Amino acid sequence: GAGVSQSPSNKVTEKGKDVELRCDPISGHTALYWYRQRLGQGLEFLIYFQGNSAPDKSGLPSDRFSAERTGESVSTLTIQRTQQEDSAVYLCASSANGGIQGQGYEQYFGPGTRLTVT
Amino acid sequence: RKEVEQDPGPFNVPEGATVAFNCTYSNSASQSFFWYRQDCRKEPKLLMSVYSSGNEDGRFTAQLNRASQYISLLIRDSKLSDSATYLCGLGGGSARQLTFGSGTQLTVLP
């Protein structure tokens, strides 16, 4: 079946502009995650959505970052007033059910959006 | 101390060699463990889950040592196509998201 899709695949923007990144999870997956990966580094958790529960925003680095998800479908990550340090690959992942505390479920990643802030 | 640590490598091994990576973690409440493979400029792809009893998938074997708080990945008869960065991911406790190590780079040489 179809995997996680993300758009755009690449985004170049000027410092100070806003950008919006989109993620389409695997159909039927209730949990959706956003991560950031800077060049040569590991994955940094940003935000987690599970069904209609309040999202876990504990990983968002500043109030310039926000994300939304409608039900169990598409999610958008918005970065306002972009800075050069925001340049990274933004990865979205989904899992079948990440909602049971104390258990994690296999996460499947989309191809990412490579953001370059000039 | 980082929550999840991996030897960054690089590990350069000849084709056919056996290579093993470890991933140590500090959160004893971790409940689920995974190995991912990431090719250059690509997204991480799930390689295998790591169960308490250990698990094997072809040339790949993953094990969990809760007492010493590490997981391992063993690759036997390595192929050129195994060249990639291998990330460990841990979940559980109070967190739903996975916490990843920075990855171990493997290059299999002809």
- Nearest chain B residue to A113 by CA: give it: B43
B15, pLDDT greater than 90: yes
Q: What is the mean pLDDT of residues B9-28?
A: 94
Residue B102 and residue A41: Cβ atoms within 8 Å?
yes
- Residue tagged 């940003």 (tokens): A46
Query: What type of residue sits at position B93?
Result: G
Which member of B31, B42, B43 has the closest CB to residue A104?
B31
Of residues A56, A14, A32, A106, the one with CA closest to residue B50: A106
A25 contact B CB<8A = no
pLDDT for the residue B30: 82
Query: Is A106 in Cβ contact with B31 (below 8 Å)?
Result: no
Model confidence over B41-95: pLDDT tens digits? 999 999 998 878 889 999 999 999 999 999 999 999 999 999 999 999 998 755 5
Cβ atoms of B77 and B16 closer than 8 Å: yes
Measured CA distances, A29 to A45, A71, A106 (Å): 18, 11, 11
Q: Out of A35, A43, A56, whose CB is closest to B96?
A: A56
Chain B residue numbers touching A88 (CB-CB < 8 A): none
pLDDT < 50: residue spans in chain A: 102
Measured at the CA of B3, the angle between CA B99 and CA B26, to 5 degrees, comes to 115
Which residues have a Cβ under 8 Å from the Cβ of B58 and sit 6 or more positions away?
none
Distance CA B85, CA B90 (A): 17
